[in-house]
Every structure is written in structure tokens, then in C-alpha cells.
């Protein structure tokens, strides 16, 4: 028996076996439906929490620093608010806004799982490429505006109040936090995103007729 | 589409195509716990995809696409164990209850060996092998994969040889 005939036999066995399985296959549809709905709600909540933490965090901090800046001005339109706190608020809101716009743009580009495999793999690859770009540049779009605004704010306060406490807080807490956050992003890129990109690239290459 | 219509379609697809979903799961995951995880992901994705289904593609083509895309995404280290979740699947032949060697027929043994061989193939080839064994036409496979029929033919020629060689 040659390869072709042998494979045809395998194919017949496969179909015969699964046809007989069909007769004994039964499923508790109600339980499945219940579980699927539960899972859908769970994943919806997880996605919402992720968005709320990243985007809402920026806006909340922006609101907090705006409040601090305006409170010092006594809420009067004729007195000058604390511009340094407002600068920090602006940086926080800017970072939150950047993330929000990016999230909306990426969601629009997302492809449904019912599309052909090649389309989905290409879309996933684009998504991962974008995530890598975001993580690699997290210092520029997130940590730099935030820490620079805080540095200006705390530096100014140290000068005005003749105390090194603000600068000490910046050096001992804020800068290490930014450094750690940046390192974590680079680690995530290396350990999670890069291998995923390679995996998708090889999948796509195996669907590429010219390869 | 209303929630009730979505539920009706989901129930019907489960009734008619659960075997297909199960084949994809068994062809892509080996361990029972992984199969259970993947099966639930496939169900969730199929449920979510129903509102977008307009009947332009065949139901089987649609389900294959969703199932394979889910299986490919599932393999990227996002596997998660659903500890404590309800073990609701009760199949005559389920991912959890594959026949033991002692009471399996020769056909069952061949099919088990085929599944094992398919899992050794690269992901894309495994997807093609499953559809080919199920008897899908080149056109249908091309629709699922998004590549030309000619290329399907080239790939299947190699896959057929690989599988036959492994099982001989």
C-alpha cells in the first residue's frame, strides 16, 4: 500500500470513528450556556478593571493634583492657583488621555475571531508590534512627563520653602518608582511580547505562499 | 440579534457541531486539563461570535475559523486553569474521558495515534490536517485559512506524507 492509499485509509477510519462518536455524544447544554455567560461576564469585568486602572488612574491623579492646586488659590478666580500642582495634573491627564485614545484606536483595529486565520494572525501581530512599541517607549509617553512635572513641582517648592524635603522625596521615591516601572515594561517586552511576536511571525510565514 | 436568538443558535450549534469543536480541541491540546480549558475558550468565542454571523459563510466554516483562531491564541501562554469551575461537559467521548488502551477498538487506537501525530505538527499544519481528515474541500479550507487553494494543496501533500509516515 503506498502513502496515498494508506492516508486514504486513515481518513476513512477517522470519519468512521467520529461518525460513531456522534451517536454517543451528548452535552449538558444548559450548564454550558450558564458557564459561557459566567465566563463572558468575568472577562468583561477583567477588561473593565484593566482599563479603569490604567486610564482612570491617570485621570484620578490629575483630578487630585488639580484639586490641590486650586484649593491653595482659595477657589477664587482672581487669585493665582499653584501652577506647579496644575502642571503635575496636566501631565497625569495627558498620560491618561494618551492611553485612552490609544485604547480606542486599537479596539477599532481589532479583528473578530470569525475572520480567516491569516487575517487574525496578521491583526494579532500588528497588535503585538504596537504593544512592544508602547512598552519600549513607556518612558517617553508616561514616566518622563509625570516625573518631569513632579521634578519641576518639587524643585520649585524646595526653593520657595527652603527645605530639601521635596527634593528628597523626588530622589528617594519618585525617580526609583519611574526607573522600576520602566524596567518592568522592558522585562515584559522581553519575556512575553517578543516571544509572542516571534511565534506569530512564524505562523504567518507558514501561511505565506512565497516563503 | 436578541439574546434569545443568540441562545437558540448557540444551542443548535452545540447540538450539531460539538463534535467539530471537540476535534479541534483534541487536535491542539494533549492534557485533559488543557483540553478542558481550551474547550471552554472555544465555547466562549463561539458564543461571542454569533451576533456577527450573517449566514454568508457556512456554519462549519465559521465554527472552524473561530475554533482555530481561539486555539492559536490560547497557545500563547495565556493558558489559565479554571480552578473550581463547574465541570459541565459530559460527552460520550470527552476530552476528559478518552478511551483507555484496554477497552479501545482498533479504529479508536488509530484515531488516538492520529491525534497524537497531529499535535506534533506545526499549528497551521495541524489545523489543515484536521479539516482534511474531516473531508473539507480545498475551497472550504482556503476560506477558513485565508490562503489560496493551490497553496492548500501543496501543504496537504506534505502533511499527508508526514502523518502516514508517523502512523505506519
Tens of pLDDT, residue by residue over B93-126, are 444 445 555 566 777 888 899 999 999 998 889 9
Q: Which CA distances in Å does A125 have to A116, A128, A202?
A: 14, 5, 11
DSSP state of B82: -
A199 touches chain B (CB under 8 A): yes
Give the closest-approach CA distance of B30 to chain A in angstroms: 18
* Cell numbers at A28, concatenated: 449538558
CA distance A168 to A153: 13
Cβ count within 10 A of residue A10: 21
Question: Could you tell me if B13 and B108 are in contact, meaning their C-beta atoms sit under 8 angstroms apart?
Answer: no
Domain ranges of chain A: 34-109, 115-211
* Cell numbers at B12, concatenated: 443548535
ipTM of the complex: 0.76
Q: Which of A1, A5, A10, A200 to mutate: most B Cβ within 10 Å? A: A10
Residue B87 has pLDDT above 60, yes or no: no
pLDDT for res B75? 61
Residue A91 has pLDDT above 90, yes or no: yes
* Cell numbers at A18, concatenated: 467520529
Q: Scanning every residue of chain A, which has its alpha carbon at the shortest distance from the alpha carbon of B106?
A: A13
Max avg pLDDT among A43-52, A162-171, B148-157: B148-157
Read off the pLDDT of residues A69-79 as tens digits, 9 standing for 90 and up: 888 766 666 66
pLDDT for res B80? 54
Of residues B167, B85, B82, B87, the one with CA closest to residue B121: B167
| Mean pLDDT within A152-176 | 86
Higher-pLDDT residue of B79 and B38 is B38
Higher-pLDDT residue of A43 and B73 is B73
CA distance A57 to A116: 37
| Residues in B touching A118 (Cβ below 8 Å) | 145-147
CA distance A111 to A120: 6
Q: Scanning every residue of chain B, which has its alpha carbon at the shortest distance from the alpha carbon of A42?
A: B44
* Secondary structure class of A179 (helix, strand, coil): helix
pLDDT for res B138? 94
> How much is the pTM?
0.77
pLDDT for res B96? 43
pLDDT for res A27? 62
Q: Scanning every residue of chain B, which has its alpha carbon at the shortest distance from the alpha carbon of A198?
A: B76
Domain ranges of chain B: 1-96, 99-168
* Cell numbers at B119, concatenated: 499535535
pLDDT for res B130? 94
Percentage above 70 pLDDT, chain A: 86
| Mean pLDDT within A6-25 | 77
Max avg pLDDT among A24-28, A133-137, A156-160: A133-137
| Mean pLDDT within B124-150 | 92
Contact residues, A window 76-135, toward B, CB-based 8 Å cutoff = 112-121, 124
Residue B91 pLDDT level (bands cut at 50, 70, 90): very low
Q: Provide the H-helix boundaries in chain B.
A: 3-28, 32-49, 59-74, 106-120, 123-133, 138-145, 149-167
- What dotted CATH number matches B99-168? 1.10.10
Q: Which of A1, A2, A8, A17 to mutate: most B Cβ within 10 Å? A: A17
Nearest to A25 among B44, B92, B163 (CB): B92
Complete DSSP assignment for A145-163: HHHHHHHHHHHHHHHHHT-
CB contact under 8 A, B23 and A18: yes
Q: B1-96: which CATH topology? A: Rna Polymerase Sigma Factor; Chain: A (1.10.1740)
Q: What is the distance between the terminal CA atoms of chain B, rounded to a whole angstrom?
A: 50
* Cell numbers at B87, concatenated: 465541570
Most distant pair of Cα atoms in chain B: their distance: 51
DSSP H/E element including B102? none
* Cell numbers at A156, concatenated: 520649585
Q: Scanning every residue of chain B, which has its alpha carbon at the shortest distance from the alpha carbon of A118?
A: B146
| Mean pLDDT within A113-131 | 88
Nearest to A206 among B75, B89, B124 (CB): B124
| Mean pLDDT within B51-61 | 88
Q: How many CB pairs under 8 A join A and B?
A: 160
Amino acid at each position: 500500500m503506498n502513502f496515498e492509499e494508506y492516508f486514504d485509509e486513515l481518513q476513512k477510519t477517522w470519519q468512521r470513528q467520529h461518525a460513531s462518536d456522534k451517536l454517543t455524544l451528548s452535552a449538558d447544554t444548559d450548564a454550558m450556556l450558564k458557564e459561557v455567560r459566567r465566563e463572558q461576564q468575568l472577562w468583561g469585568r477583567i477588561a473593565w478593571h484593566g482599563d479603569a486602572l490604567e486610564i482612570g488612574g491617570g485621570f484620578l491623579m490629575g483630578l487630585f493634583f488639580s484639586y490641590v492646586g486650586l484649593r491653595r488659590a482659595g477657589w477664587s478666580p482672581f487669585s493665582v492657583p499653584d501652577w506647579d500642582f496644575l502642571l503635575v495634573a496636566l501631565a497625569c491627564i495627558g498620560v491618561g488621555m494618551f492611553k485612552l485614545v490609544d485604547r480606542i484606536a486599537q479596539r477599532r483595529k481589532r479583528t473578530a475571531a470569525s475572520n480567516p486565520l491569516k487575517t487574525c494572525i496578521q491583526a494579532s501581530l500588528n497588535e503585538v508590534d504596537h504593544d512592544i512599541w508602547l512598552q519600549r517607549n513607556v518612558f517617553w509617553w508616561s514616566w518622563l512627563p509625570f516625573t518631569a512635572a513632579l521634578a519641576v513641582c518639587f524643585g520649585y517648592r524646595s526653593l520657595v520653602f527652603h527645605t530639601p524635603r521635596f527634593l528628597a522625596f523626588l530622589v528617594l521615591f519618585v525617580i526609583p518608582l519611574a526607573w522600576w516601572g520602566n524596567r518592568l515594561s522592558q522585562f515584559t517586552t522581553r519575556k512575553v511580547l517578543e516571544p509572542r511576536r516571534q511565534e506569530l511571525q512564524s505562523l504567518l510565514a507558514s501561511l505565506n505562499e512565497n516563503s | 440579534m436578541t439574546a434569545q436568538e443568540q441562545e437558540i443558535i448557540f444551542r443548535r450549534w452545540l447540538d450539531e457541531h460539538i463534535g467539530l469543536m471537540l476535534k479541534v480541541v483534541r487536535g491542539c491540546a494533549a492534557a485533559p486539563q488543557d483540553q478542558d480549558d481550551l474547550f471552554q475558550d472555544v465555547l466562549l468565542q463561539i458564543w461571542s461570535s454569533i451576533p456577527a454571523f450573517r449566514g454568508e459563510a457556512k456554519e462549519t466554516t465559521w465554527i472552524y475559523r473561530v475554533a482555530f483562531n481561539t486555539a492559536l491564541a490560547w497557545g500563547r501562554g495565556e493558558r489559565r486553569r479554571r480552578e473550581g469551575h463547574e465541570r459541565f461537559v459530559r460527552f460520550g467521548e470527552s476530552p476528559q474521558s478518552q478511551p483507555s488502551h484496554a477497552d479501545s477498538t482498533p479504529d479508536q487506537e488509530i484515531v488516538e495515534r492520529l491525534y497524537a501525530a497531529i499535535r506534533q505538527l506545526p499549528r497551521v499544519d495541524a489545523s489543515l490536517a484536521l479539516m482534511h481528515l474531516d473531508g473539507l474541500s480545498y475551497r472550504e479550507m482556503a476560506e477558513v485559512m485565508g490562503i489560496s487553494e493551490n497553496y492548500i494543496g501543496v501543504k496537504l501533500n506534505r502533511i499527508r506524507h508526514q502523518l502516514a509516515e508517523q502512523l505506519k
